[in-house]
Amino acid sequence: MPKQRDVQAQRDLLSNATWQVLAENGLPGLTLRAVAERAGCTTGLVMHAFPTKKALLLHARDLLYERTALRADAAEAASTNASEALAAVLGQAIDIPHGHHDESRVWVGFLAAALADDDLAERHRAANRSFLARIHRLVAACCPEWTDERLERTTKSLVALVEGLNVLAAADPQTYPAGLQQTALREALSVMACELPSKPAS
Residue 142's CATH number: 1.10.357.10
Residue 86 inside a domain? The answer is yes
Judge whether 75 lies within some domain.
yes
Give pLDDT, residue 24: 87
Query: How confident is the model at residue 201, as a pLDDT?
Result: 40
φ, ψ of residue 4 to 5 degrees: the values are -75, 145
What's the pLDDT at 93? 85
Domain that holds residue 1: 1-51
Do residue 73 and residue 166 come from a single domain?
Answer: yes
The answer on 94 and 42 residing in a single domain is: no
Q: Are 155 and 87 in a shared domain? A: yes
Residues 47 and 63 in one domain: no
Q: pLDDT value at position 92?
A: 87
- Residue 12's CATH number: 1.10.10.60
In a domain, residue 19? The reply is yes
Is 70 in the same domain as 155?
A: yes
Given this model, what pLDDT does residue 30 score? 87
Report pTM.
Answer: 0.83
Per-residue pLDDT at 162? 93
For residue 64, is it within any domain?
yes
Does any domain span residue 138? yes
**Looking at the structure, do residues 19 and 118 belong to the same domain, yes or no?**
no
For residue 197, what pLDDT is reported?
Answer: 46
Are 121 and 91 in the same domain?
A: yes
Same domain (yes/no): 76, 46: no
Q: How many domains does the chain have?
A: 2
The predicted pLDDT at position 170 comes to: 83
pLDDT for 202 equals 39
Same domain as 10, residue 80: no
| Positions in the chain short of pLDDT 70 | 1-5, 7, 95-100, 194-202
**Is 200 a member of any domain?**
no
pLDDT of residue 9: 80
- Does a structural domain hold residue 74? yes
**Co-location of 172 and 117 in the same domain:** yes
